[in-house]
Every structure is written in C-alpha cells, then in structure tokens.
Chain A
Amino acid sequence: MAKLHISATVNGEPTEFLCEPDETMLDVLRGPLGLTGSKEGCGSGDCGACSITLDGRLVCSCLMLAAEAEGADIRTIEGMAEGDTLHPLQRKFLEMAALQCGICTPGMLVAAKALLDRNPDPSESEVRYWLAGNLCRCTGYDKIVRAVLETAAEMREAVR
C-alpha cells in the first residue's frame, strides 16, 4: 500500500511527512520526525509518556494514527521551551527535583501545561486527577504535584 502524505503543523512549524496508514503519531514523531522527547511507555493509553496536544487537546500519541494529523496543530515537549529559555514548568521540575529517571517527564510536562493553559489556579486534587493518566514509577508523584502547583502560583504572580 502506498504511503500517505500528511501535512500538519508541528510545534508551530509547517511539517510534511510520509506514513503507513497503520502507523501511530508516536511512531512518526519518534521515527521520521526525529522528535524523541515523546516516550513510549506502554503503547496502549495507560501511561501518558507519549502525551502531546492535538489542536490544543491533550491526547496520547500512541492512540492516534499519524494519518489523523492531516491539517492539525500538533505540539510536543520539543515545543515547550522558547529557545534556551525553559518553560516555567520545566524550570520548576528541575528546581524541585520532580523527576528521577525522567521517562515520564516529557508527558508530565505536556499534560501539566495543558492543565495550566486551561486552569491557572488548580487545586491539588484537580492536579492529581488531571495527571492520573501519567504514570511515574520513580517519584511517588508528590514532588510532581507540588512542582505543578508551585509553577501555577508563580505564573499567576508573574501576570499580575
């Protein structure tokens, strides 16, 4: 079967790629597009390590066909920092040691950013529910949740 030719916007850049009809978005990100920040933990929607946004909506890239990206706006962890300037979430994760091995981190950051974009002042339980689909086998979650809350507070302060 012929490969499909897909045009999408990836991290703000118009991007074209070829894919097999049954390839996932995660396959294409990590393969032809060379964006290996999104991780494959499970390939079945359970771990969230492959989290991206699709037209502003948080999704698992392992549960999306690459062909579905036609015309869409895709954002990955690679688009989070602005040049050398880390996003406040990225900086706080480092400052507050919200990661150990780091495998879950790109997915956590993409998911946490999607939350703060919608809700700049989430409660602790809102953060925990929002991130329930992002598994971490190292940190015990507490430092991650605190880093997200701390970032939210700092970002609210900054816009005042």
Chain B
Amino acid sequence: MSDMRYVVPRTLDEAVGAFAEAKGAARILAGGTDLLVQMRAGAVRPGLVIDIKKIAELTGIEETADGGFRIGGAVAGARLAEHPRFGKVWPGLLEAINLIGSTQVQGRASAGGNLCNGSPAADSVPAMVAAGAVATLQGPKGRREMPVEDVPAGPGRTNLQPGEILVGFILPPRPLGSGDAYLRMIPRTEMDIAVVGCGVNLTLKDGVCTAARVGLGAVAPTVLRVDAAAKALIGSRLDAAALDAAAAACRAACHPIDDKRGTIAYRTEVAGVLLKRAAGIAADRAKGA
C-alpha cells in the first residue's frame, strides 16, 4: 500500500492550485523519465503526483506569427521531432532534445522535465540557453518569464518558487542567416551522460557574425551562458583567431567536477574543442539558411 496520490488536472489553474496546496510534498509528472527513476530509487517519495500531460498549454507546439515558437513544457522529444517546421528552424536545439536517452525515453521525455530536473549535464539546456529561450512559469502569484539560463540553481535545484510550474518555452524569431548546433562528448554514441555539452547559436551577415550565444553543460554546477565566448565570435568572420579566443573563453568558464566520466583537465579541454566544432556547424547552417 502506498500513500501517494495521483491527479490529472485538465487546466493549469487546477494544477497550480494542487501543487501549491501540497506544500512541497507534490511532484510534477511530465514524461517521468527522471521522476519515476528517482521514486523507484527511493530518492523522492512524493505524497502527490500531478500529471500535467492533459493540460493543452503544456503539450502544444505553436509557431507564432513573428516566426518564433512556443513549446509546451511537457512536449515529448519524439513529438517535437515530428513537427514539420521546428527542426528546420532550430536544428541544433532539436538535436539536443533528441539526444536525450533512447527511442523509448524520447517517447516521453520533455525539455521541461530536462530543465526542471536540474542536472548540470542536461542535454537540451545548453542549446536552449544558446537559442535565447525564455521559460514561462505559472504559480500561485501568477505568471512570469525567466531566461532559461536563470532557471537552474545548482545540481537538482531550480529557481522556481514553491507551487510554480514551467508552462513552456518561448523561442525568439530567427533573423535571416541564423544557425544553431549542439554537440556533446560522451564515451559511447548513445545512452550516456554528457561529459561536456556545448550549444552555439549565431547569425551571419555577409560572412560576418552579427550575433551569437553560447551555452555550456556539464562543466559547472549549473549550465552556463558564456558571454565572453559569444563576444569573441561577434564581429568576426569566424576565422581561426576568433574561434581560438572563443574556445579559450569556454575553457576559462569551466569549473567542472572530477569523476570517472572525465577529469577536470579533460572536461576543460573538450569544452573548447566542442565550441569550435559547434560554431562550425552553426555557421554552415546559417549560410544554408
């Protein structure tokens, strides 16, 4: 016998109400690919599980009139992959989301869960940060917006207030000549946790980089936005000197853990390597656009 309760609210208000009332004893259930593993391990014992997958706003994918996107917090990776337009506009971000786990995990895992779980190695988060995605949050005090890079607070922790639910992500419109890419280093080709993850999003005009954002994962207690690396790219033609400077900025931003997956020195070195490669892919995509 368990004393856990399970509810499936149909509206966001109902969900927020139940979540706030449970005062920390409740957990939100999106795809469950983190939550169920943690429950089984006994790491979390929620008194209430609130399944958000029957709330329309949490499961929609919408291309907005200005060319941006709104993605519901609980949309599974496999559904996003099937969207006719999303992967054309945000190929790097889609790749990052689709790197999460196996086909089975993709059938359920959401970018919202990936962010709210608070892992420093979460694959979609550096790409979201690079994309300039903004999270929409709703809680007992109403709705607010928060840049994705401000959501993680440390391993397993976020800056969401008690009772707050991540409703979804807002992706900005794409200027002409934009491209993004995400690369992760893992010892195998599938089913592993990132040793380093790097997302780059940039815009080129006549071969010159006019805008750039860089996100780095698994090299610090939270995913990082590396402005110094972006700055090194902006104004350049992505020549060797600019890429070297951006890679150095990424290495300087690292303060990783030392574990069996990678030493501090290795993770730091790889961060620079991935920056260069991801910038190259993003630039090729920008030229093709």
Contacts and interface: CB of A to CB of B under 8 A. Distances in A.
A binds B: yes
Interface residues of B, number: 31
Interface string B19-49: 0000000000101110011011100000001
Contact of B191 (A1, A43, A46, A65): A46
B83 to A, nearest CB: 15
Contacts, number: 95
Contact of A4 (B6, B37, B190): B6
A48 interface: yes
Tell which of B104, B107, B108 has the most Cβ of chain A within 10 Å. B104
A46 B51 CA distance: 23
Interface in B233-259: none
Contacts of A21: 2, 4-6, 49
B230 interface: no
B105 A20 contact: no
Interface in A27-75: 43-46, 48, 51, 54, 57-60, 62-65, 67-68, 70
B102 interface: yes
- Secondary structure class of chain A's binding surface, majority of residues: mixed
Contact of B190 (A1, A62, A132): A132
A129 B103 CA distance: 8
Interface of B: 1-6, 8, 29, 31-33, 36-37, 39-41, 49, 51, 53, 76, 78, 101-105, 107-108, 189-191
